[in-house]
Structure 1
Amino acid sequence: MILEFWQGAGDPVRGAAVLVRAAATACALGAAGSALFLVFMSERLTVEEARAARRRLLLFALGALFAGAALWPFRAAALTGVTAGMGRWPIYTDIARSPFGDAAFTMAAGVALLLFARVRTAWGAGLGTAGALLVCIGLALAGHAGGHARRQEVLALSVVHAMAAAFWFGGLFSLRTVAGRRDPRSAAEAVLAWSRHAMVFAGLAVASGLALALAFAGPPTQMVRSGYGWVVLAKSGLVVAMVLGALASRFRHARLMERGDVLAGDALRSSCTRQILFALLILYAGAELTAADLPAAATR
C-alpha cells in the first residue's frame, strides 16, 4: 500500500490487495511452518503443546484459504481496470486458467495436505511435508519469478526461500508455547533441538533472500534509486533484526533455561513475539514488492 501511493497517485483497491496478499502469505507460511514443527518436534512436545500446535495449524490453514480466495476479486479488478470487474463472473474462468490460478490452486492443494501433519503417523508427516513444499511452490509462482529474465533460477530460489521462511516463521508460534513450560530445563531441551534445525533454515532463508534481492533490485547502489529498492533495503534491515533475535534466543535465553533460570523462559517468549512482529513486517514488505512493477533490469 505504501509503495503503491509512493510511486504515484495510488489506487486504494490495489493498496487493499497488498494487505490481503500479506495476510494470505502469513497464514500460508504459518500453516506450513506449524506442520513442519509438528513433523520435526512431535516427540519433544507435551500433550498440551502438541494440541495447541495442531489447533494453530488448522487456524492458519483456514486463514490461508480464506485470504487466498479473497485475492480473486482483486485480481479481477486489476484485469478489468475497474472495481466493478470484481462482479464479472465470466472473467474468473480466465483467472483460474492463468498463472495466478496455477499459483492459487497449487497453494490450496498444499494447504489441504498440511492438515495431515496433525496425524501422528509416518504417512501423516510425509503428506504434511509434501503439503509444505506445495504451499511454497504456490507462493513462488505467485511472485515475480515468471517475469524475470532468469525465470527458472529465480523460481527455484523462491521455493527454497519460502520453505526456509516457513520453518522459521511458523515455528516461532509453537516455540513460544514451549518456552512457557514450568520446567525451564525441559523446555530448553526442546528449544535447542528446534534451534539446531531452525539455524540451518534461517541461514537458507537469508542466503536465498540475498540472492533474490540482488536478482530483482540489483546491487545496493541501484537499490537506493527506486522505491522498489528502498523496500528491499527496509526488508533486509528487518531480517537482520530478526536474525539477532534468533541468535539471542539460541545462545542466551536457551542456555540460561538449561541452568534452571525461570525468567529466561519469559525472555524467550518475548524474543519470539518480537521475531513474529518483525516477520509480519517482512511479509508485508514482500507483498508490497509482489504488487509493484518488476524493475526493468530484471526483465532483460
Structure 2
Amino acid sequence: MDMPVDIVSVVIRALSFVALFQAAGIALFMAMLGRALTSSELPIRRVARCSAWAAILLVAMYQLLAAARMMGEFSGVMNLPMQLRALQTSAGAASALRIAGLLLIACTVMRKHSGGRVASVAGATLVVLSFLVTGHTSSNPQRWLLAPLLLVHLWVAAFWFGSLWSLYSSSAIETAQVTAVLAAKFTAIASWLVPGIAVAGVVMATKLLPSAGALLMPYGLLLLV
C-alpha cells in the first residue's frame, strides 16, 4: 500500500500538469490567435497568468516532496541534504525548467506586443522541453530522433489543451462574427497540427516498442495517445 507521502505527491503532480499545460497552452493560443479576440482577450490572458502561478506553486511543492518520498516520510521536506540530492536528479532539472518557463509566462502573457508574445511562447517551450529530460526518450539511444518528436507532440498537445478553455471562454463573450473568425483561424491551424501530433506519436511508439504488434497492447496504445 502506498504511503501518504506518495499519494500526496502523485495528486500534486497531476494537478501541476493540468495547470502547466493550461498556462503553456493558453500562452501558445494567445500568441497565434490572440489578435483575433476583442472582449475575451484580457480574461483569457488572466487565466493563463493565474494558471502559471498555480503551476509554479504545485511544481515547487512536488519537488519538495521528492525528498520526502526518498525518506518515506513528510519530514524529508525539511532535510536539506536530501533536498539537494533531489535537485540533482533529472526530475529536479525538469522542475527547474518548468518553473523557469512558467515564470516567463506569468510575467509576459499579459503583454500584447510582439516581445510579450515571443517571451510567453519561449516560456511555453521551456515547459514542454522539461519533459525531455526525464522518461524513456532521455535515455534512449535514438534520443536524437525521439526528443524532437516528443517536443512536437507535447507542444501541440499543450496548444490543444489551452485552446479548449480559450475557445469556450471566447465563444461565451465574443460576438458571433468574432467567434466565427476565430473558429476559422483555429481550424486552419489545427488542420496542420493534428496530423503532426499523430505522426509524432506513431513514430515514437514504433521506436520505443519492441515490435509493431506491441502497438495494439495497452502500453502501445497509451504511447500513441
TM-score range, shorter chain: 0.7 to 0.9
Choose which of 159, 162, 169 in structure 1 pairs with 2:151. Answer: 159
Is 1:68 paired with 2:59? Answer: yes
**Partners of 1:12 and 1:222 in 2: how far apart?**
34
Instruction: Provide the C-alpha distance between the structure 2 equivalents of 1:199 and 1:133, rounded to a whole number of angstroms.
Output: 21
Decide which of 103, 125, 128 is 1:136's aligned counterpart.
Answer: 128
Which residue, out of 70, 79, 91, partners 2:82?
A: 91
Name 1:244's counterpart in structure 2: none
Summarize the Cα distance change of 1:179–1:12 in structure 2 as closer, same or farther, 3 Å threshold: same
Q: Cα–Cα, structure 1 residues 186 and 54, in superposed 2: closer, same or farther, change >3 Å?
A: closer
Aligned to 1:230: 218
Paired with 2:8 and 2:200, the residues of 1 have a C-alpha distance of 28
Q: Tell whether 2:202 aligns with 1:214.
A: no
Deviation at 1:73, TM superposition (A): 3.6
Q: State whether structure 2 residue 107 is matched by structure 1 residue 107.
A: no
Alignment match, 1:25: 17
CA separation in 2, counterparts of 1:206 and 1:124? Answer: 30
Is the 2:40–2:170 contact (alpha carbons within 8 Å) kept by the matching residues of 1?
yes
Secondary structure of 1:142's partner? coil
CA-CA distance at 1:81 after TM superposition = 5.2
Q: 1:30 touches 1:169 (CA, 8 Å); kept in 2?
A: yes
User: Are 1:140 and 1:162, in contact at CA under 8 Å, matched by a contact in 2?
Assistant: no
Tell me the C-alpha RMSD between the 2 structures: 2.5
Q: Structure 2 CA distance, aligned partners of 1:195 and 1:120?
A: 23
Conserved in 2, the CA contact under 8 Å of 1:76 and 1:92? Answer: yes
Consecutive unaligned residues in structure 1, runs of 5 or more: 1-8, 240-300
Among candidates 153, 175, 191, match of residue 199 of structure 1: 191
CA distance, structure 2, for counterparts of residue 200 and residue 211 of structure 1: 17
Q: Flag the 1:74–1:95 CA change in 2: closer, same or farther, 3 A.
A: same
Structure 2 unaligned spans of 5+:
none
Aligned 8 A contact 2:37 2:178 in 1: no
Q: Is the 8 A contact 1:33 1:171 kept in 2?
A: yes
The Cα of 1:207 is off from its aligned counterpart by: 1.8
Deviations 1:223-266 (A, max 9, x none): 56xxxx52552575xx5xxxxxxxxxxxxxxxxxxxxxxxxxxx
Distance in structure 2 (CA, Å) of the matches to 1:23 and 1:212: 26
TM-score (norm: length of structure 2): 0.86
Whole-angstrom CA distance in 2 between matches of 1:235 and 1:211 = 10
| Structure-2 separation of matches of 1:50 and 1:133 | 21
Please state whether the residue corresponding to 1:120 is helix, strand or coil: coil
Equivalent pairs: percent with the same residue?
A: 25
Q: Deviations over 1:156-212 (max 9, x none)?
A: 222111111111111111111122246434311111112211232222222212222
- Aligned amino acid, residue 132 of structure 2: A
Give the whole-Å Cα distance in 2 for the aligned partners of 1:215 and 1:11: 35
Give the Å deviation of 1:79: 3.4
Q: 1:31 to 1:232 in 2, by over 3 A?
A: farther
- Secondary structure of the residue aligned to 1:102 is helix
| d(CA) in 2 for partners of 1:218, 1:15 | 32
CA contact (8 A) 1:213 1:232 kept: yes
Whether contact under 8 Å (1:35, 1:118) holds in the other structure is no
What are the superposed Cα offsets for residues 103-127 of structure 1, whole Å, 9 maximum, x if unpaired?
1111111111113132011111111
Relative to 1, partners in 2 of residues 1:235 and 1:176: Cα closer, same or farther, differing over 3 Å?
Answer: farther
